[in-house]
């Protein structure tokens, strides 16, 4: 459900639903799952060196779909291991098949 502001009709902007506005950058738009923890707990690095910060949950869901990606070396070991363990149980783009 989209909401509109109370601005005049010609200047109304649609805003995202509350759940979508409070998700980490690693959360795919099509992934309906909520974040698990702070939105900057971990960082993934793809094979081109681009970085994506996110919660442990969404980093783990994104990792299998990024060819050659890894958890940033400065992420604490406990979070990095948790991401790798969770990612190992998921197919790429798990949200597309309902997981």
Q: Total structural domains in the chain?
A: 1
Beta strand spans in 1-99 (E): 3-4, 14-15, 42-45, 51-54, 70-71
Read off φ and ψ for residue 17, nearest 5 degrees. Answer: -60, 155
pLDDT at 21 (0 to 100): 56
pLDDT at 5 (0 to 100): 45
Q: Which domain holds residue 63?
A: 37-94
Give the pLDDT confidence of 19-36 residue by residue, as tens digits.
455 899 999 999 999 999
Whether 86 maps to a domain, the answer reads: yes
pLDDT at 22 (0 to 100): 80
Whether 85 maps to a domain, the answer reads: yes
Whether 59 maps to a domain, the answer reads: yes
Under 8 Å between Cβ of 75 and 63: no
Average confidence score pLDDT of the chain: 83
pLDDT at 39 (0 to 100): 93
Place of tokens 């738009």: 29
Whether 46 maps to a domain, the answer reads: yes
CA–CA gap between residue 30 and residue 20 (Å, rounded): 10
Whether 24 maps to a domain, the answer reads: no
- Nearest in space to 26 (alpha carbons), one of 14, 18, 34: 34
pLDDT band (50, 70, 90) for residue 57? very high
């Amino acid at each position: 459900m989209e909401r509109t502001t109370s601005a005049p009709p010609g200047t109304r902007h649609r805003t995202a639903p509350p759940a979508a506005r409070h998700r980490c950058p690693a959360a795919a738009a099509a992934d309906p799952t909520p974040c698990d923890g702070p939105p900057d707990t971990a960082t993934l690095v793809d094979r081109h060196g681009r970085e994506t910060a996110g919660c442990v949950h969404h980093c783990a869901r994104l990792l299998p779909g990024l060819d050659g990606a890894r958890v940033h070396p400065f992420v604490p070991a406990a979070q990095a291991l948790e991401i790798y363990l969770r990612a190992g149980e998921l197919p790429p783009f798990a949200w597309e098949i309902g997981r």
